[in-house]
Amino acid sequence: MLASNMKTYKNIKHTGKASVNGSSTDKRQRKLELPAEANASLSVPVDTKAVFDCPSILLTSVVVTTWQIILRDKLSCTRAYRRDRNETKEGNCTDERITWASRPDENLALQIDPVATTHDGFYMCQMVTHFGNFHRGYHLQVLVPPEVTLFQGKNGIAVCRAAAGKPAAQISWNPEGDCVTEQEHWANGTVTVQSTCRWEDRPVSVSCSVSHVTGNKSLSLELSLEHENKKIWKSI
């Protein structure tokens, strides 16, 4: 098993420069599917830093450490470190935001700084040691807080919108009314949820509550017969 992993390491390109264009073999490489389950699930807010740790193994016993990064609709990226040569290699890694957290001879962790919605995927640390092979994997989900708006439409209709959140937000009303909720999915994985409500007996004021993993928000609106009001809450 050690010999097999060392052979894999030799096939990875040296790190001096990232392989942007790739070889003909790289171009023929098939896109890998995400594993159905990871060792651990990790949710991180967009525009923050994420750090992935390898198994807690004594560094002096580690021969080769390999990070395999599998993102949706992209080729697998590999970053490796061979301790006896103090040498790093990489293959198909073009995202400069994904790097070693520090010097790999001191810390084998991987980091993403800053995190973007495109970083959803699977991150696996594989370690070859004198005592056997060890691994740890992470399934990363990037969270995006929605922008919440509440405004009055025509004929006493109220509209509450949670725009571009990830995952999709949930909307509820007080008082409850005759409501229709729609979702719009965007290419970056975010979802806009819009709930439109009407009331048979128009209340003086209404409020919509938006539930999301990044935090809950609530807006209130006084319904007017003369003009349309609009309130906007932007996430900080």
The pLDDT confidence band at residue 204, using thresholds 50, 70 and 90, is confident
Q: Which of 18-22, 95-99, 130-134 has the lowest mean pLDDT?
A: 18-22
Q: Environment class of residue 17 by beta-carbon count within 10 Å: exposed (0-12), middle (13-18) or buried (19+)?
A: exposed
pLDDT surpassing 50 at residue 228? no
Residue 9 is predicted with a pLDDT of 55
Tokens 């919605």, residue located? 117
pLDDT surpassing 90 at residue 143? yes
Q: What is the DSSP-derived secondary structure letter of residue 119?
A: G
**For every residue of 122-178, which 3-state class applies, written as one string?**
EEEEEEEECCEEEEEEEEEEEEECCEEEEEECHHHCEEEEEEEEECCCEEEEECCCE
The pLDDT confidence band at residue 73, using thresholds 50, 70 and 90, is confident
Instruction: Compare 100 and 23 and report the one with higher pLDDT.
Output: 100
Residues 6+ apart with CB under 8 A from 167: 141, 143, 191, 213
**Could you tell me if 125 and 54 are in contact, meaning their C-beta atoms sit under 8 angstroms apart?**
yes
Q: Is the peptide bond before 167 cis (omega within 30 degrees of 0)?
A: yes
**Could you tell me if 183 and 199 are in contact, meaning their C-beta atoms sit under 8 angstroms apart?**
no
The pLDDT confidence band at residue 151, using thresholds 50, 70 and 90, is very high
Pairing of strands 170-174, 205-211: antiparallel
pLDDT surpassing 80 at residue 162? yes
Kindly state the average pLDDT of the residues 119-127: 96
Share of the chain above pLDDT 90, in %: 71
